[in-house]
Amino acid sequence: MNKDKNYFGIDISKDVFDVCDNNRTYYQFTNSVSGFKKLLKLLDSNTICVMEATGYYHLRLAYFLLEHDQGVCIVNPLKIKRYIQMQLSKIKTDKSDSKMIQAYATDLNPSLWFGQSKSQQDSLQLSRLLSIYTKQSTQLKNKIHGEEVLGNPSKEVVRSLKRQLKSLKKEMGILEEQLLNNVKLEHQESLTLLKTIPGIGDKTALMLLVFTDGFTRFESSKELCSYAGITPVIKQSGSSVKGRPRISKMGNPKLRNLLFLCSFNACKYNVACKALFDRLVAKGKSKKLALIAVCNKLLKQAFSIVKNRLPYDVNFRSVLVEN
């Protein structure tokens, strides 16, 4: 338990947020700037506000507090859920949740959250919109194909769909150019280094830097693999419970999907990844499991290359062994 810091537990919803201070006093404010200012009056330099990562609802308050030099912790909701279960609590309300968040912070002293740069926030928003537009583009292409294979397709329908697709592609091009400029502004060298890795193309290198904030948020490749949700989870107990190892999937799904798509090319052109894939398959492992291992390998290569500021070298590992 940490008694030196004054933790405020905050449970946030769309319209309001509930607050529990270290004296177990409750407050409720509107989830707006006026509510943020009222909360600010309760805080001092020793106060740390703790909240769950609840979609987007927590971000405005979190950045508002950072701008006013207040300490902020953003906790994975699963950690709070497990903590509440440990307390055997029978009550589930916003007020009780704010109390539990405050108790969790007091007991476990979570790490501070420092937010992201304006450029990184902009890049993440651009990538999310591009993801939506990509899905819409695929839907339009499928719809055009479906209309064209009809015996007597409507010309107006096909023309309309093609106009929409053309407009969508134009918007995607503008967003992709802006995203590339953002990444080049902060991570030009890292972008160039990542593209030297066989199996990682221009768009993949770009999105890797966007999702990881240029790998600056991670101290080791293990942390990065955990963030991507591709680390193995083993379930064994005694002699009867021997579950099959699976990946955790407790991480960024977009990064995980991106790596999985890259693993196919990496198995063809990346020497280390191909050797790993062939070795696992020869041992009788499934191809899917081998591809997940390639994802780990590929991500570790990317992390090492960016952190050491060195381009990919196919002979690097063998040189180290010889020396």
* Residue-level pLDDT at 237: 61
135 and 80 in a single domain? The answer is no
Is the pLDDT assigned to residue 6 strictly greater than 80? yes
CA distances from residue 285 to 248, 253, 289 in whole angstroms, order as listed: 18, 24, 7
183 and 240 in a single domain? The answer is no
Question: Distance between CA atoms of 149 and 144, rounded to whole angstroms?
Answer: 9
69 and 101 in a single domain? The answer is yes
- Domain that includes residue 136, residue range: 118-187
Is the pLDDT assigned to residue 38 strictly greater than 70? yes
Q: Is residue 163 part of a domain?
A: yes
* Residue-level pLDDT at 322: 34
Is the pLDDT assigned to residue 317 strictly greater than 80? no
Question: Distance between CA atoms of 210 and 298, rounded to whole angstroms?
Answer: 17
Question: Distance between CA atoms of 239 and 222, rounded to whole angstroms?
Answer: 29
Average of pLDDT values for 126-143?
94
pLDDT digits (tens, 9 = 90+) for 41-54: 999 989 999 999 88
Cα within 13 Å of Cα(120), Cβ side:
16
222 and 279 in a single domain? The answer is yes
Least Cα distance to 120 among 194, 63, 58 occurs for 63
Among 119-133, 171-185, 218-232, whose mean pLDDT is lowest?
218-232
Least Cα distance to 224 among 204, 251, 244, 245 occurs for 251
Burial of 164 (0-12, 13-18, 19+ CB in 10 A): middle
31 and 51 in a single domain? The answer is yes
* Residue-level pLDDT at 177: 95
Q: Is residue 63 part of a domain?
A: yes
87 and 12 in a single domain? The answer is yes
Share of residues in the chain with pLDDT > 90 (%): 62
Q: Is residue 94 part of a domain?
A: yes
The CATH number covering residue 99 comes to 3.30.420.140
* Residue-level pLDDT at 42: 93
Residue with tokens 């928003």: 125
Partners of 241 in the beta sheet? Answer: 237
> What residue type is 285 in one-letter code?
K
State how many domains the chain has.
3
Q: Is residue 203 part of a domain?
A: no
76 and 174 in a single domain? The answer is no
Q: Is residue 307 part of a domain?
A: yes
182 and 228 in a single domain? The answer is no
* Residue-level pLDDT at 45: 87
Greatest mean pLDDT range, 50-59, 79-88, 113-122, 166-175: 166-175
Name residues whose C-beta falls within 8 Å of residue 171's C-beta, 6 or more positions apart in sequence. 133
Q: Is residue 193 part of a domain?
A: no
Contact predicate 36/64, CB 8 Å? yes
* Residue-level pLDDT at 318: 38
252 and 296 in a single domain? The answer is yes
Question: Distance between CA atoms of 75 and 8, rounded to whole angstroms?
Answer: 13
pLDDT digits (tens, 9 = 90+) for 258-268: 999 999 999 99
* Average of per-residue pLDDT values in the chain: 88
Which of 108, 131, 166 finishes a domain?
108
> What residue type is 147 in one-letter code?
E
Greatest mean pLDDT range, 91-95, 100-104, 225-229: 100-104
Is the pLDDT assigned to residue 251 strictly greater than 80? no
156 and 215 in a single domain? The answer is no
Which of 86, 108, 130 finishes a domain?
108
Which of 137, 153, 187 finishes a domain?
187
Q: Is residue 201 part of a domain?
A: no
Least Cα distance to 51 among 70, 23, 25 occurs for 70
219 and 302 in a single domain? The answer is yes
Question: Distance between CA atoms of 119 and 185, rounded to whole angstroms?
Answer: 9
> What residue type is 119 in one-letter code?
S
pLDDT digits (tens, 9 = 90+) for 150-202: 778 888 999 999 999 999 999 999 999 999 999 999 999 999 999 999 989 89
* Residue-level pLDDT at 253: 87
> What residue type is 134 in one-letter code?
T
Q: Is residue 273 part of a domain?
A: yes
* Residue-level pLDDT at 323: 36
54 and 147 in a single domain? The answer is no
Report pTM: 0.78
Burial of 102 (0-12, 13-18, 19+ CB in 10 A): buried
Q: Containing H/E element for 278? A: helix 271-282
Question: Distance between CA atoms of 155 and 212, rounded to whole angstroms?
Answer: 45
Question: Distance between CA atoms of 285 and 146, rounded to whole angstroms?
Answer: 39
Is the pLDDT assigned to residue 319 strictly greater than 60? no
Question: Distance between CA atoms of 291 and 232, rounded to whole angstroms?
Answer: 13
